Chains A and B, each alone.
Chain A
């Protein structure tokens, strides 16, 4: 991948990464530097097409002289910076963040999270048995919570929202990474159909007054689903196939083509399983779409397989 946008020639900045000297272009982030030197840092709220949200704290690293750990996805490198990605503090932080997330959220469809958890020995179950799903998360008020006794671990488990034919919102899997809100808002789509509502542990992604998606400003571009890192948001088609056990990525092929609906010329990647289109995405590196599409490109393909 490209480390930073190719523009004017950039000065190289030298820093120390886990004891080794590394040179990366000025303006690169610590995460860019890690990627360039072959180090894999877990990320969840980081998106290659979005501004860093700094929310998940999975990618924290230690920078000499900093009181706290710093998010590698957003912190820019500085000359002489001494960074540790493998110190005890970093490992502890990563382990705990994954445990906290795992104890509160269903991560069963989050790619890579199992590997990350076992690599640092994370055990989300040690906070106690999960509390039962709640029906009232959309109505919770900020600044108060029910009295507890510590016998169960609070979770965000809740009923899945299926209120339209194209999307499924399973917020029991939501880690509050802000990516869907950013993709829907001023970073890409400018629809502003969803926002973060509520506060603290009761913070949630919501339309105004939790109104169903068809009554909201949603234009069904699917760009929120494209950036969702956990599968909390999914296409109805994929969701249904997963439910009935027929979703099989190993049997899928990906073919990139050009959308025929208008003159913009967006790249479409058709995900095909058993000679049937099951999902449409767009390459994030496409200079036309940056991974975004509209409702037609994203969902207007049923006619192709009307046999």
Chain B
């Protein structure tokens, strides 16, 4: 392919980092864009040009990819920038006041003033949160959570301090009943010895003895369901992939956790990174994959640091690479891919396009990933939490595993409690625990307040009322109640919460995160936000068009005709608020009469 490049050259700094990709191909486009962004803080014409020259990518396509991700800037930007979360849990915990202060002191959000508004940063238990970034020879990132305007202003000026001794914490730490979280906050996440001393790598040994089909049988018998939101049977997915004659097979660990209110996978990766690596190795063994990609969202610096360490140590000690644990012929390795600010890349086919160096747009299904996935090959995609259930299953046996939880939902589940709740954090409970019991575990709403509603499952989930707290948290009960457990979000709203603003944020989120590929989602999410603004603000159109009806009709076409789950669920939470919380009447307090 002859490439026609723009007549612009990179700076010396840009050239040096891009030249490291010499001899590589298109699938390194996202890493190369990150490399430039890490070095200089934005992607200039000269830098993009040079990336295209080195990786042999047409410039228009590279531009299309770079302009897809919100963490990249294609216009000049200072090296230091702070991303301030304005999403659901942070909104409930004062993000608006924080942004108002920043606007007063630093100027309106933008590259010039050194701060930007950001969707959910995945640290909802410590809201409000911000992520400071500084480009340089060694890029620095620092999570500020919980934060306040003074701290953001100081860090925006001084730059972040690099990741230090921060440690993952869970409220139940040390509880002997924990299975998925047993090491989080207890063992040293950097130490492979600690991991092995607490049972680490015993499951892989068991797996190697059982053989691939034996592992798949155990996982199938355990009735493990995917924990990323879609709840697909994991065993079936592995089996379907393992049976594909085409080689190679790939494994993708979906760690692009970006559903607002979700932070369980981050806790697992920060608190027990070796278990993620071991679980991926077992999955790779079972499904016949020689390579695994760990697609990590771009906003998790600590998880990135710990996972890199875990992979390096595992490789050093023969837990990754060739002939793993002495098992002749079993080779498997893991490459981390950093996302760059795009919720949609957590969609199971968009993640392939993103890894391959294309825009993170979902693919049309069929064909399904188990047949035609990453690089066109059979691929298993599993969420982090799903995978870390596998060592538990292999350790205790599928039969014992199914005794936890209910018949339709086996095992335990991680829930992300945030919002107006006394002790926010990730909680592990057996499936079947009621929502009320879970809220009690987290101390309920702060003293003196009353529960207004719970958003269950995330922005794509649904609301539950205070009179429905006896809902058993299982896949089947949630479905029957017209909601979903989704990714395990339990976002609590008390009587001080502004439901109208909360719903508007959900609508804005879907508009911002739509990839734009299909009409129902690309335009539907815009019309949904517009109509909701009119409804919440009680400012109907002069034509008198019924906005509630409009919302329902747009919601229906998004659900019926969007390509992927993002568009199909973009109306769920808003519909559920209107139908279950009956909140239309309460809208417009402030704006009424204006």
Contacts and interface: CB of A to CB of B under 8 A. Distances in A.
Interface of A: 52, 54-58, 60, 68-69, 71, 74, 89, 92-93, 96-97, 100-101, 103-104, 125-128, 139, 141-145, 148-154, 175-176, 185, 190, 192-203, 206-209, 211, 215-217
A199 to B, nearest CB: 5
Nearest to A60: B561
Contacts of A145: 508, 511-512
B452 interface: no
Contacts of B119: 143
Interface residues of chain A: helix, strand, loop or mixed (majority): loop
Given A89-B560, A127-B550, A96 B520 contact: yes
A135 B149 CA distance: 34
Q: Interface centre among B67, B69, B563, by most A CB within 10 Å? A: B67
Contacts of B554: 96, 100
A127 B530 CA distance: 9
Contact of B70 (A58, A100, A141): A141
A229 to B, nearest CB: 13
Interface of B: 1, 3-4, 6, 45, 48, 58-64, 67-70, 73-75, 116-117, 119, 341-342, 359, 364, 508, 511-520, 522-527, 529-534, 537, 539, 541, 543, 545, 550, 553-554, 556-557, 559-563, 568
B4 to A, nearest CB: 4
A143 B525 CA distance: 13
25 contacts: A56-B518, A68-B560, A68-B568, A89-B560, A97-B520, A100-B519, A100-B524, A100-B554, A104-B526, A127-B545, A144-B116, A149-B533, A149-B537, A150-B537, A152-B530, A176-B516, A193-B4, A199-B67, A200-B516, A200-B522, A200-B525, A201-B514, A203-B517, A207-B60, A208-B48
Given A97-B557, A100-B557, A192 B63 contact: no
Contacts of B561: 57, 60, 68-69, 93, 96-97
B530 A197 contact: no
A43 to B, nearest CB: 13
B556 A96 contact: yes
Contact of B364 (A71, A96, A139, A142): A71
A158 to B, nearest CB: 16
Question: What 10 pairs across the A-B complex have the smallest Cβ distances?
Answer: A143-B70, A203-B516, A150-B533, A192-B58, A195-B64, A96-B557, A208-B59, A217-B4, A150-B534, A100-B523
Contacts of B64: 195-197, 206
Contacts of A199: 67-68, 70, 342, 514-516
B6 A93 contact: no
Contacts of A68: 559-562, 568
Contacts of B557: 92-93, 96-97, 100
Contacts of A194: 60
Q: Interface centre among B119, B515, B527, B539, by most A CB within 10 Å? A: B527
A150 B539 contact: yes
Contacts of A153: 526-527, 530
B556 A92 contact: yes
Nearest to A127: B527
Q: Interface centre among A60, A74, A195, A217, by most B CB within 10 Å? A: A195
Nearest to A129: B541
Given A142-B342, A200-B514, A151 B539 contact: yes
A192 B183 CA distance: 50
